[in-house]
Structure 1
Amino acid sequence: MSVIEDSNTQESEGERSGGGHHRGHKHHRRTHRERTSKRGEHKSHRGERGGTSDTDQSSSRRRHRRSRKPSKMGSFWANLLASLLIFVHIAIDTVLEFGLGWYLGDKKRSPAISSDDQKLCTKSAVELAKLIRERKLKAHDVVKAYIDRMKEVNVSLNAVVDGPFMEALDEAKEIDEKIASGQLTEVDFTKKPFLGVPFTTKDSTSVKGKLHTLGLISRKNEKSLVDAECVRLMKEAGAIIIATSNVPEVNKWSESRNSLIGQTNNPYDTRRSAGGSSGGEAALIAACATGFGLGTDIGGSIRIPAFNCGIFGHKPTVGAINTKGCTFRTGKEKETMVVAGPMCRHATDLMPIFKVLVDPEMSTDLKLNEEVDVTKLRYFYIPSNDMPACNPVNREAQSLMFKLTRYFSDLTGEEVKQASLPGTEISGKLWRYWMTREPADFNKLLGNGANLNPFVELFKKIMGKSEFTMAAIYSLIDGLLPAEKAPLMEEATTKCSEALAEMLGDDGVLFFHSSPRTAPFHYYPLVKMMDFAYFSIFNVLRVPATQVPMGLDSKGMPLGIQVVAAKNCDRLCLAVAEELEKEFGGWVAPFENRN
C-alpha cells in the first residue's frame, strides 16, 4: 500500500529530503490548519480509498514503530550514514559545478528575437492555427519566421540534424492560396486543427525522405522511407514539418550528444545540458525555433529535456499513442515502456496535440472530452525518492514544492497530502530490469545491426578511434554487469503500481520532483547519472506524467515539477498543467525580448 503521512510529518520529511524547507514553512502549516479548522466540518478525506482515516493511519504507524523498536545506537549510525551520504553528494556536486564551469567557460544564452516578424514565434500553436484560419496571419509568414529563427539559434544550440526544409514554404504558400480562394470549409478546418503550423520531431522518429541517423556515424546517410505514425497524424492535422532534431546514440542517454552531430546546448546556458533523448526538440522549442515538437520517452526522454529547457512535455499512458516508426518500433509491441508525446511552450497546446495523436482504440478509455474540475481533485506529493544514488533535493526545489502544495491547498480547501510509494528507493534498478524486457536490443541498435564488444569500443575510445561517445560505451558495459533479480524486481514493481493506483484512483494527482537539481553542465551525467530515476519510475509504472516548467532558479535555469496520474487519466495531468501555467507563468523565454 501507499503510505499517506499525517500533515504533521511534513516538516521532518522535507528535512530528510536534503536540508529541510526554509524557515516559516512550519508556521504556515500551523496557520493553514487553524484556517481550515475554522471553515467548519472539513472533508479531509474526500474520496479516501478503503475508508482509512488519518487517525487510523497514524495509530497504525505508531503501533508499527513500537513493534520495531529500533535501538538508539542503530538509529544513530543510520542517521550518521545518511548525513555522510548527503555530504558526499554535495561535495561531488560542488567540485563538478566548479570544475566544469571553469572548463566550459562563460555563460551564453540563446539569441533574442531579432525582428518583428519573429515575435509571432512565441505564440502557442493553437493561437497560430486560429490566426491562420481567420486570415490574420499567412502560413507562409509563420513558416518563414520559424525557419529564420531556427537558422539563427542553431549556431549556438546545435540542435538540428536535417533541415530546415525549404519545401515547407511551398506547402505553406499552397495553404494560403486555398484559404484565400475559399476552397477550405469549416469542416476542413475542423479536420485540420493545426493547419499551417510548423513542427519538428527528433531524428529517431522517421520522417519520409529525411535523414534518420539515430546519432550514428554508420547511418549518416540513411533516410526514412515512410512517416512515423505520429508524424503522419500531425501532417493530416495540417501541421508542417520543418526539421528533425538531435538525439544521443539510439536515444539512450540523458544528454543529446553523439559523434555525428555533436552535443546540443541548453538555450538558457549553452554550457549546460539540454537533456536527452529529445534534447534537440526541447532546445528548439524553448528558443522559439519551432511551433511545437514530438518526442518519445522510455526513461524520461520527453520530460528530462522539457525540464532542462523549461517547456511542457507529456509522457502519456503506455499505448495511448501508436509508436510505429519511432526508433524502429512497429507500434504492435505489447510489453514496452516506450511512448510518444507532445512537447511545447504552452500548456494549452498539450491537449489539442494529444487528441490528434491518440490511438482511436484508446479514446474511450482516456475520456479526453470529459471536463476536469481541478478544485475537486485530490492531491498528493512525495518529497524525495529516497534513492541513495540520487542527489539530495536542493532547497530551491523544496521551496517550489512547498509553494505548489500551498497553492493547491488553498485552491481546494484540502491538505495536499504527503505520501510515499514502496520501491521508489530502487527506481534505478527497476528501470534497468525492465529495459532488459524491451523488444529492442541496444547493442545491436548501436552497432546498426552488428554486435559490439564493449571492451574493444572502450579501448578504441581511449585511443581516440571510437565512433561512439563515452555514454554509449557506458551502456554497452552495463550489459555485462550482473542482471537484476527478476522475481524481486517484478514483485517490487507490482507493489509500487498497486500502491499508486490505490492512492490516486481516478481523481487523484501526484506532484513529484522532476530532479533534485536543475540542468547540469555538459558531461556531469558521466560522473553522476542517477537523477534520471526521478523520471524513469513512471516509465516502469506505465502511468501518465506531465513535465511542467515552474520559473527559474537563482542561476537562471528552469525549475519544474512532474504531474502524475493513474493509468488512462492523462486528462488530469493536462488540466493541472494548465492550472499551474495560469498561476506560476509556465515557460520563461531564455532571452530578453527586444522592443
Structure 2
Amino acid sequence: MSLWKIIIEALLTLVHILTDRLLEFTLGWYLGPHKRVATPQSIDQQVILTKSAVDLAKQIRERQLKSYDIVKAYIERIEIVNVELNAVVDGPFTEALEQAKQIDKKLAENAYTEEQLKALPFLGVPFTTKDSTAVAGKRHTLGLQSRKDERAKEDAKCVRLMKESGAIIIATSNVPEVNKWIESRNMLIGCTKNPYDLRRSVGGSSGGEAALIAACSTGFGLGTDIGGSIRIPSFNCGIFGHKPSSGVVNMAGCTFRTGKEKQTMVCAGPMSRNATDLRPILQVLVEPEQRSVLKLSQPVDLKRLRYFYVPNIGMKQCNPINRETERVMYKVRSHFKSLCGQEVALASIPETQLTAKMWRYWMTQEPANFNLLLGNGVELNPFIELFKKLLGQSEYSMAAIYSLIDSVLPKEKESVICTASQKCKQYLQQLLGDNGVLFFHSSPRTAPFHYYPLVKFSDFSYFSLFNVLHLPATQVPMGLDVNGMPLGIQVVANDKNDRLCLAVAEELERVFGGWVPPFSLKK
C-alpha cells in the first residue's frame, strides 16, 4: 500500500470519527436526557413477561399458567409502554382475551388430544407482527397516510401458520413507509423509540416489532428482511432475529407479495428475546417441501464445525469498527477457539467493498415497484415531493423522499455488479461448505440517535450483504456498551444451513447471556 493511500485512508477514518461524534453530540443535546422504557408493574407480571415463548407454551399445556393471564399481562404492558415507544399501529386486540379464555377452557376439559397438542406448539402464546404483513381485518397501512383506513382482507401466509400453531395475535407494529428505510418513522404513526434509550433508533423496517419484543410487550414477533429489516432492529433493540435462507418461508401477504415470486431478496422470519425460540418458530413457518432440506431438528455438533470471521466490510462509506464492537468479535472468537481447539480463521471475502452498489442494483430487480408502493399505486415525482417537503406539505418522510430520488439517479453497471455478486457468493459457498459458520459484525457502532441515518446510512451494508447473497443470518445480542445500548454479532452459514446459525446463536446465548432487559428487574 502506497504512503498516499495510507494517508488518505487515515484522513477518511478521522472524518468518519469526527462526523460521528459531532452528530452524537448535536442530536444528544437536541433530543434531551436519556430515558429508558418503564419497568413491569409487579414481580408477577415480570415473571410472565420475561419468559421465552417456548416456556410459555409448555406451561400453558401443563396448566401451570393460563393463556388468559399471559395475554392479559402482555396487553396491559403494551398499553403502558406504547405511550413511550409509539410502536403499535393496531391493537392491542381485545378479542385475543376471548381466544385465550377458550383455550384455557378446552385445556381444563381435556378437549385436546396429545396429537392435537403436538400440532399446536405455541398454543395460547401471544405474538405480534409488523403492519406491512397482513392480518385479516386489521389495519394494513405500510406507514402511508393514503392507506390510513385500509384493512387486510386475509392473513399473510406466515401469520396464518402461526395462528394454526395455536399462537394468538395481539397487535401489529410500526414500520417506515413501505419498509424501505433503516429507521421506523413515517408521517402516519410517527417515530418508534428504542426501549434502551428513547432518543435512539429502533432500526427498520421491523423496528416496531423489535421495540415491543425488547420491552416485553409480546411473546415473540414476525419480521421481514430485504436489506437487514429483521436484523437491524434486532441489533438495535438487543434481541435475536433470524433471516432465513431465501425461499424457505412463503411471502404471500407480506408487503403485497404473492408468494409466487421466483427471485427475491426478501424473507420472513422469527424475532424473539430468546435464541431457543427461533428454531421452533421457524419450523412452523417453513414450506413443507423445505423441511427435509433444512433439517432443523437434526442435532448440530458445534465442535465439528469450522469457524471464520471478517474484521470489516471494506467499504469506505461505513464508519470504522469501534473498540467495543471489536471486543465482541474477540470474545466470540476466543470462546469458539476454546470450544474447538483451533483458531477462528480469517476470511477475505472478495468484492464486499461493492456491497452498497450490489444491494442497490438487486433492489431494482425485485418484483415490487417501490415508487408505486409508496404512492399507493400512483407514480410519484421525487422532485415535486422534495419541494412539497421543504414547504411542509408532503405526506412522506424525508427518508422516503431519499428513496424516490435514488430511483432516478444513474443505475449501477449490471455486468460489474453481477460479476461481483457471483464472485462473492462462490467464495462463501466454497469456504463454508456444509459445516462452516461465519461471524460478521452487525454494525460498526451501536444504535444511533434518531435522524442520524439521514446523514450517515451506509453501515446497513453489514446486513444487506447477506440479502444479496441469499444466505441465512442470525442476529445475536452480546451485552450492552458503555451507553447501555445493545451490542451484537451476526452468525452466517451457507444456503439452507439455517440450523447451523441457530445452533451457534443458542451457544452464544448460553455463554454470554443473550437479551439484557432495558429496565431494572424487580427482586
User: In the alignment, is residue 166 of structure 1 matched against residue 94 of structure 2?
Assistant: yes
Q: Does structure 1 retain, via aligned residues, the 8 Å contact 2:43–2:522?
A: no
Question: 1:431-446, aligned counterparts within 5 Å?
Answer: 431-446=359-374
Quick one: which amino acid aligns to residue 87 of structure 1? L
Give the one of 254, 258, 261 matched to 1:326.
254
Give the one of 154, 161, 183 matched to 2:111.
183
- Once the two structures are TM-superposed, the CA of residue 593 in structure 1 deviates from its matched residue by 1.2
Give the one of 214, 234, 245 matched to 2:173.
245
Quick one: which amino acid aligns to residue 118 of structure 1? Q
Question: 1:400-549, aligned counterparts within 5 Å?
Answer: 400-549=328-477
Give the one of 203, 206, 211 matched to 2:134.
206
SS in 2 for 1:438: coil
SS in 1 for 2:307: strand
Quick one: which amino acid aligns to residue 3 of structure 2? F
2:501 aligned residue:
573
* C-alpha separation in 2, matches of 1:134 and 1:325: 34
CA deviations on 1:23-60 (whole Å, 9 max, x unpaired) are xxxxxxxxxxxxxxxxxxxxxxxxxxxxxxxxxxxxxx
CA deviations on 1:468-524 (whole Å, 9 max, x unpaired) are 000000000001110000011000000000000000000000000000000000000
Give the one of 10, 17, 24 matched to 1:97.
24
CA deviations on 1:168-227 (whole Å, 9 max, x unpaired) are 000000000000011011111100000000000000000000000000000000000000
User: In the alignment, is residue 554 of structure 1 matched against residue 482 of structure 2?
Assistant: yes
CA deviations on 1:515-546 (whole Å, 9 max, x unpaired) are 00000000000000000000000000000000
CA deviations on 1:454-475 (whole Å, 9 max, x unpaired) are 0000000000000000000000
Question: 1:219-368, aligned counterparts within 5 Å?
Answer: 219-368=147-296
* C-alpha separation in 2, matches of 1:521 and 1:368: 38
- Once the two structures are TM-superposed, the CA of residue 117 in structure 1 deviates from its matched residue by 3.5
* C-alpha separation in 2, matches of 1:256 and 1:343: 16
* C-alpha separation in 2, matches of 1:231 and 1:117: 29
- Once the two structures are TM-superposed, the CA of residue 116 in structure 1 deviates from its matched residue by 3.1
1:75 aligned residue:
2
SS in 2 for 1:388: coil
SS in 1 for 2:269: strand
* C-alpha separation in 2, matches of 1:376 and 1:389: 37
- Once the two structures are TM-superposed, the CA of residue 277 in structure 1 deviates from its matched residue by 0.1
Q: Does structure 1 retain, via aligned residues, the 8 Å contact 2:244–2:473?
A: yes
TM-score by length of 2: 0.99
- Once the two structures are TM-superposed, the CA of residue 367 in structure 1 deviates from its matched residue by 1.3
* C-alpha separation in 1, matches of 2:330 and 2:29: 33
* C-alpha separation in 2, matches of 1:118 and 1:269: 22
* C-alpha separation in 1, matches of 2:387 and 2:131: 29
2:33 aligned residue:
106
- Once the two structures are TM-superposed, the CA of residue 364 in structure 1 deviates from its matched residue by 1.4
User: In the alignment, is residue 399 of structure 1 matched against residue 319 of structure 2?
Assistant: no
1:58 aligned residue:
none
* C-alpha separation in 2, matches of 1:521 and 1:487: 38
Q: Does structure 2 retain, via aligned residues, the 8 Å contact 1:200–1:290?
A: yes
SS in 2 for 1:272: strand
* C-alpha separation in 1, matches of 2:205 and 2:302: 31
Q: Does structure 2 retain, via aligned residues, the 8 Å contact 1:277–1:301?
A: yes
Provide the aligned C-alpha RMSD in A: 0.6
User: In the alignment, is residue 374 of structure 1 matched against residue 307 of structure 2?
Assistant: no
- Once the two structures are TM-superposed, the CA of residue 361 in structure 1 deviates from its matched residue by 1.3
* C-alpha separation in 2, matches of 1:581 and 1:376: 19
CA deviations on 1:522-577 (whole Å, 9 max, x unpaired) are 00000000000000000000000000000000110000000000000000000000
Quick one: which amino acid aligns to residue 304 of structure 1? I
Q: Does structure 1 retain, via aligned residues, the 8 Å contact 2:195–2:237?
A: yes
SS in 2 for 1:420: coil
SS in 2 for 1:136: coil
CA deviations on 1:80-137 (whole Å, 9 max, x unpaired) are 0110110000010010000000000001101001123422110000000000000110
* C-alpha separation in 1, matches of 2:293 and 2:166: 26
* C-alpha separation in 2, matches of 1:285 and 1:587: 10
* C-alpha separation in 2, matches of 1:522 and 1:530: 15
SS in 1 for 2:386: helix
1:589 aligned residue:
517
Quick one: which amino acid aligns to residue 369 of structure 2? D
Q: Does structure 2 retain, via aligned residues, the 8 Å contact 1:117–1:145?
A: no
* C-alpha separation in 2, matches of 1:203 and 1:266: 18
Give the one of 47, 57, 60 matched to 1:132.
60
Q: Does structure 2 retain, via aligned residues, the 8 Å contact 1:321–1:339?
A: yes
* C-alpha separation in 1, matches of 2:45 and 2:505: 27
* C-alpha separation in 2, matches of 1:583 and 1:276: 28
Q: Does structure 2 retain, via aligned residues, the 8 Å contact 1:192–1:238?
A: yes
List gaps (5 residues or longer) in structure 2. Answer: none
CA deviations on 1:374-412 (whole Å, 9 max, x unpaired) are 111000000000100000000000011011101100000
TM-score by length of 1: 0.87
CA deviations on 1:307-327 (whole Å, 9 max, x unpaired) are 000000000000010010000
